[in-house]
Structure 1
Amino acid sequence: MWRDVVLVAVGGAIGTAARAGLTLAFGADLGPALVPLINVVGAFAIGILFGWRARMPESSRAQRVQLFMGTGVLGGFTTYSALAVESADLGLLWWGAATVVVGTAAAWGGVLIGRGGRARA
């Protein structure tokens, strides 16, 4: 159990650092579009990961990859809190709602790609 917690924590630190790096590098240029972009790309990547996992046989190794990459790295990379604050700061409820809709579509597309283009088995 502790090994899994450490995997999620380390992965989360990596994902959060990646998001912070992108914010520092591109925040001034992309402005408020950066957070939704990060969230949609992250949702797509999570979808690919979960679609891939659906094709794999159950194993502790596959479970740990999912914990590290999905819950940790990609969970830390995407951020609902930043999206909520940005939407409130801009005074645009549709900004957050549109990001959730587009992110969900991206995750669905990622799942299909991860499953090799096949619908749910």
Structure 2
Amino acid sequence: MTESETQGTTTTAADAAARPDYRRWVYILLVFAGGCVGATLRYVREQAIPEWNGIPIGTMVENVVGAFILGWIIEGLTRGGPDAGGRKKARLLFGIGMMGGFTTYSALAVDSVQLFGTHSVWVGMLYGFATVIVGAGASFAGIGMGILTVRKHS
């Protein structure tokens, strides 16, 4: 029984429509499903790309690739029209869910700190900064791809 039913009221369609997105089950499930796929892809990447001379190249690769794909998805969806309906669902499923599950800032931070101890502070700092700088470039490239994709289909 819902809270409104226990208080003698019922939830109307207007009440449900006024509910914020983060409290709508369909949106929560889209982010959850995308996150499951993204985390699975990250696990597959971890198995496929081992460390190179003690440097976690795979984490850098997944964050850079994820930045590119996220830029592409968000720019393409934004240029395609308002954030509603299928575009909103695609953003939640692929952008927030899948790319959020695939990329990992926490692993980047931990890997950088571990490199401070196993290699040197400079290697750890270079790894962290290079990931952020290359990731930003990949994001801009993804945005460019989103622009080209929408122009091509318009």
State the TM-score, normalizing by the size of structure 1: 0.90
Are 2:69 and 1:45 equivalent residues in the alignment?
A: yes
1:71 is aligned, of 92, 96, 103, to 96
Q: Deviations over 1:3-49 (max 9, x none)?
A: 10110011001100110111012225685111001100110000100
Q: Is the 8 A contact 1:10 1:72 kept in 2?
A: yes
1:61 is aligned, of 70, 82, 86, to 86
Q: Which has the larger radius of gyration?
A: 2
Q: Deviations over 1:43-96 (max 9, x none)?
A: 000010011012112231100100000000011100001111111001112211
Same amino acid, percent of matched pairs: 36
Say which structure, 1 or 2, has more relative contact order (CA 8 Å, 6+ apart): 1
What secondary structure sits across from 2:49 in the alignment?
A: helix
Q: Which residue is 1:20 aligned to? A: 43
- Deviation (angstroms), 1:103: 0.4
Q: Which residue is 2:7 aligned to? A: none
In structure 1, the gaps of 5 or more residues are: none
Runs of 4+ more than 4 Å apart: 28-31
In structure 2, the gaps of 5 or more residues are: 1-23, 117-123
| Count of residues in correspondence between the two structures | 118
2:148 is aligned, of 105, 116, 120, to 116
Q: Is the 8 A contact 1:54 1:115 kept in 2?
A: no
Root-mean-square deviation (Å): 1.8
Q: Structure 1 stretch 66-75 or stretch 93-102: which is displaced more?
A: 93-102
What secondary structure sits across from 2:131 in the alignment?
A: helix
- Partner Cα distance (1:49, 1:16) in 2: 18
State the TM-score, normalizing by the size of structure 2: 0.71
- Partner Cα distance (2:136, 2:76) in 1: 17
Larger relative helix fraction: 1
